[in-house]
Structure 1
Amino acid sequence: MTDLVLVAGAWLGSWAWDDVVPELRAAGHGVHPVTLAGLAERRGEPVGQQTHVQDIVDVVERGDLRDVVVVGHSYSGIPVGQAAERIGERLRRVVFVDANVPTDGKSFASGWAGPAEFAAAIAANGGFWAPLTAADFVDQGLTDEQIARIVGGSTPHPGASLTEPAVLARSMGELPAMYIKCLLDGDEPRAEVAELLATSERWRRVDLDTGHWPMFSQPRELAGLLLDAAAA
């Protein structure tokens, strides 16, 4: 049995994996969807970038989980990548779902064309990144019902987790990793991901013909890829 730790992206909580979890548990795996501090039912808790890293590490260590697949979607690839490094021999594989990946000394905001403007927008919104509206989910393979579910469940994302830098002891290329690219969100991953895929023998790419939120648009197909990662 493998334990899968699932972490959704910005604005979302553990509830985002509700359609994926049954498929994984039916296959006999332990499944641990995570709500990061400051989001969903944990709204109001103090948060920094390393708080989110520790949230993930704590799930693994408190549960004494071993043979772990850690899954990060979108923003959460940044804390997930750091946590995957820190859990050491407990890690089986890290899976990035259309995700950002951490770079030592850089933040999520660093990857934006205007990081200063991004930080200013967060400051102007009381220290939070405002959730997307329904119009932002168009052409992402989602039904109106699925869009309403995401929008209705989203909470403002704590800005400190987006502007504080990642801390890494080694290259992400040393970790065994699967990168899932969601093609409706662009055919190619970000430059730092493309470099890892090109230079690391431990990284492999698989594609999903859907948008950036596959846990809603193609939960069964996403679960199948996660099962592949657990078996590899």
Structure 2
Amino acid sequence: MATYLLVHGAWHSGECWERVAPLLTEGGHRVVTPTLTGYGDTVHLAGPEVGLDTHIDDIAKVIAEEDLTDVVLVGHSYAGLVVSGVANRVPERIACLVYLDAMFPADGESAADVLPVTQQLIDRALASESGWRIPPPPEMPPPAGLFGVTDPADLAWLRTMLSDQPVRCLQQSVRLDNPAMDMVPRAHIHCTVGQPEGITRRPVPATQPNGTPSLVWELATGHDCMITEPARLAELLLKLG
């Protein structure tokens, strides 16, 4: 039995894992799908003070309060920064770190460092009336759709869970200075369909920091693979438990 801690990305909420979680629990595994501060049922807490550090605190708190160990820690998209920061704090609790079509940072980097196009979102937010809100991106023609989702029913469901992203989440840098983190195994899952123009994925080194070959899988689907291909995603995640 493994513990899967699934962390959603920008604009989303923990509800996005609704189709994946049952497929993992069927095998007797524990699944935890928290919503980060400022999204979903905590959207009222969103504000200019909410940032990457807030979200790292959120997940570290879940691990501590629920006494989670041997965690398969999955970060989607922006949450690649979040799970990296969490693993730096509590590497002894993490069995595997999974970057699900996610930002893959080095020590001291922010979202804008990992994905330079993000700076455009930051600049627009700072110049906006609120000074901090980044609204979800517009829907594009297929196959890009909205986060790679194109099915009308799926789009309707996805829109119910989206809210604005605080700009500080993309400005703050992540600390990855704990040598023990290097021993945590990692896996990367890349979604290959409908990638928007200007999005360049950072290459994964051939060797992990722990000296083993890097593990990289591909899913021929859009960015929100937990919505479009939950069974195939769960199949991959089960290999890591």
Instruction: Say yes or no: TM over 0.5.
Output: yes
CA distance in 1: counterparts of 2:170 and 2:89, whole angstroms:
20
CA contact (8 A) 1:134 1:151 kept: no
- The CA deviation at 1:61 is 0.9
Q: 1:58 to 1:25 in 2, by over 3 A?
A: same
Aligned length: 226
Equivalent pair of 1:20/1:215 in contact (CA under 8 Å): yes
Q: CA RMSD in A?
A: 2.2
Hey, what does 2:139 align to over in structure 1? Answer: 134
With 2-11 and 149-158 compared, the bigger mean Cα shift is at 149-158
1:211 to 212, 222, 236: 222
- For the residue of structure 2 that corresponds to 1:80, the secondary structure is helix
Among all aligned residue pairs of Structure 1 and Structure 2, give the percentage whose two residues are the same amino acid: 31
CA drift of 1:170 comes to 4.4
**Aligned equivalent of 2:16:** 16
Quick one: distance in 2 between partners of 1:202 and 1:175?
Answer: 13
Deviations 1:169-193 (A, max 9, x none): 147754301100111145x9723x4
Q: Paired residue for 2:170, among 157, 162, 166?
A: 162
Residue type at the aligned position of 2:192: L
Residue 113 (structure 2) aligned to one of 99, 110, 113:
110
**Ranges in structure 1 where 5+ consecutive residues have no aligned partner:** none
Q: Which runs of 4+ in 1 moved over 6 A?
A: none
Structure 2 residue ranges without an equivalent (≥5): none
Residues 18 and 168 of structure 1: CA distance in aligned 2, closer, same or farther (over 3 Å): same
Query: What is aligned with 2:127?
Result: 124
> For the residues of structure 1 that align with 2:139 and 2:34, how far apart are their CA atoms?
24
- Counterpart among 181, 196, 200 of residue 190 in structure 2: 181
Q: 1:82 aligns with which of 85, 89, 92?
A: 85
The structure carrying a bigger helix percent of its residues is 1
**TM-score for the superposition, normalised by structure 1:** 0.89
